[in-house]
Chains A and B, each alone.
Chain A
Amino acid sequence: MSHAQTTGFLQYQSVLTDAAIAVGWGSVDIDNQSNGIWTRNRLPLGEETGVHLSQSLVGVHREALQVQIIWFNFETVRVTWNVSEHSGTNLTFLYTFGQREESRPNAARYFQRGGLSVSTQEVTLCRVPFSVKPASPGDLAFLWRPEEVTVTCPDLPYDGLLYEVQHRSTFDTSWQSKQEDTCNVTIEGLDAQKCYCFRARVKTTEASYGPDTYPSDWSQVTCWHGGQPRDSCPDKPVNAKFPKFILICSLVTLLTLCLLLLSLWKLGRVRKLLIPSVPDPKSSFSGLFEQHRGNFQEWIKDTQNVAQLHKMGSGGERDCGPEDVLVVQLAKTPTTVDALTPRTGEGESSGGSPQLARRAPQGGDMVSVGGFTFVMNDSSYVTL
């Protein structure tokens, strides 16, 4: 019986007593010794390879060990376990490989290839498939056309994968994503004047690989501007826009302040314009309220030397109201005005509105209003 020894798979193959995370890497190299001669064969890790953690102490469960198995890019398996809670416990990691048969959980050995003897306490701590993590896509190629770009890369030789490409311009706050079944993704609606950055990764589909998988790492970010590669896209030109923005804001603020000041200065006049105040006769008629207690007629008599005209409310004459009080200025001239010559009945309109009738002037024009006749000269006036 040949003796098989595996190498290159684990960093730690000895009994683990330290409270640490132990990691095993790599593919499996099998050294076979037969008749004293060692030969090495590398076994590719494939779909049907199983990994097992053998425990010398029964009762330690995989959940307590926090075993994690990741199948990197369908080539390399990494097994991680945590012994920190079991310090002092002797744990030995053994791994086997080969064709996986139908369920025989209690089989002493059902991996025959390599001849590695296995413990009867072997517990299967993995499932087929392992949690897959594809490799990051490499050798991205960009084919630019007007307003679109096609990103390509070599497909992994496995089905059930999705190739996701993300892009972002300097004006975007987040990455925009598109994915296809093959690494041939066309992104449309791009602006040739903008600078864009791209990255890609590979994901597995749940239908083919189950829910416990990991997407690949993102590829290196590559940037393009006008169809030419760039080291990076410039940051959003905030500095160039910032002074202009400040200038505009300052001008607007200044203008607003000027307008405000102007408004305040003209506030009285503006207010008068918008809300005209009720005229106060006090200023125009001096002494009207102080001496004559608002009696305008007395004020006139006293200050303006105007004869009060009485309204005639009979004889067909209409009472026209206070606004029709007649004020006639008597002029002190050599040619006196015959101010009061009541007239009745002549020249009065049936409508009651006062009419002007003329007589032959005697040193001036004659004005007849409300039954009174006045002789006017140049310095006289009639106010109705």
Chain B
Amino acid sequence: IKGLGQRKKKEAFFRKIFILQLVGLVLTYDFTNCDFEKIKQKYQKTIYDDLKEYMNGSKSTQFNSTISCNNQPDCLTKIQRITFSPTHGCTSLAKEEFALRTNATFALQCPGYSRIQINNAQAVEKRKKREVTTNKCLEQVSQLLGLWGRFCRSFRKQ
């Protein structure tokens, strides 16, 4: 009976851990403690070029920039949502080069940011065929360019 009790305790413990991990997956990551300067530098050096390449000559100005952000954590939150969350008409952005770099940058510059999020997104995408770059995807990437730009402009020199 003692052994059974101990086993149940262990099971409960591991169940809690598992639930906490699930909760962690579900809850939005708080970007407040990220190194925004380094994230900005990474964007300016590499991620921007990836986004432009994805646009492949399409002008971002042809799409209305309808999404904005108020501050740096808010901008990163929205960037993450648009980059990694599939939407109707565009479900494959998470596999693109800019998305991989974005995830790597967040993982490196944001303490506690987990790679599980992108792994889950990739797991979902593996079951589907890669979509042709749709107009909706171009519009999403145009929004990302706007958000990233807003993120950069939020830096003020002292």
- A residues with CB within 8 A of B: 47-48, 100, 102-103, 105, 124, 127-129, 155-160, 205-212
Contact = CB atoms under 8 A, between A and B. Distances in A.
B66 A159 contact: no
Interface in B119-158: 145-146, 148-150, 152-153, 155-157
B113 interface: no
A207 B148 contact: yes
B87 interface: no
A208 B44 contact: yes
Contacts of B22: none
B112 to A, nearest CB: 26
Shortest 3 CB-CB contacts between residues of A and residues of B: A103-B66, A159-B155, A208-B152
Nearest to B66: A103
Given A158-B157, A205-B44, A103 B64 contact: yes
Contacts of B44: 160, 205, 207-208
Contact of A158 (B66, B148, B153): B153
Contacts of B153: 47, 129, 158-160, 208-209
A47 B61 contact: no
A357 B88 CA distance: 133
A342 to B, nearest CB: 115
B152 A211 contact: no
A128 B65 CA distance: 7
Nearest to B61: A212
B68 interface: yes
Interface in B38-60: 40, 43-44, 48, 59-60
A159 B156 contact: yes
Given A207-B48, A211-B59, A128 B156 contact: no
B67 A103 contact: yes
Nearest to A47: B153
8 contacts: A103-B64, A155-B157, A159-B155, A159-B156, A159-B157, A160-B149, A210-B61, A211-B61
A127 B68 CA distance: 11
A124 B65 CA distance: 11
Interface in B55-79: 59-61, 64-68
A129 B48 CA distance: 17
Contact of A207 (B66, B67, B149): B149
Nearest to B51: A207
A210 B149 contact: yes
A124 B153 CA distance: 22
Contact of A102 (B48, B66, B146, B156): B66
Contacts of B150: 47, 128
Contact of A210 (B60, B68, B155, B157): B60
A126 to B, nearest CB: 10
B149 A127 contact: no
B68 A100 contact: yes
A207 B43 contact: yes
Contacts of A207: 43-44, 48, 148-149, 152
B10 to A, nearest CB: 47
A164 B158 CA distance: 21
B68 A157 contact: no
Contacts of A129: 149, 153
Contacts of B156: 157-159
B38 to A, nearest CB: 14
Nearest to A209: B149
Nearest to A124: B64
A128 B153 CA distance: 11
Nearest to B158: A157
B149 to A, nearest CB: 5
Nearest to B152: A208
Given A127-B65, A128-B150, A160-B153, 6 more contacts: A103-B66, A129-B153, A159-B152, A207-B44, A207-B48, A209-B153
Nearest to B65: A127
A105 B145 CA distance: 20
Contacts of B146: 128, 210
A128 B43 contact: no
Nearest to B44: A207
A157 B154 CA distance: 11
B4 to A, nearest CB: 55
Contacts of A160: 44, 149, 152-153, 155
A208 B156 CA distance: 13
A124 B145 CA distance: 20
A205 B68 CA distance: 19
Nearest to A161: B157
Contacts of B43: 207
Contacts of A100: 68
Contacts of A102: 66-68
Contacts of B148: 207
Interface centre among A100, A159, A160, A207 (most CB of B within 10 A): A207
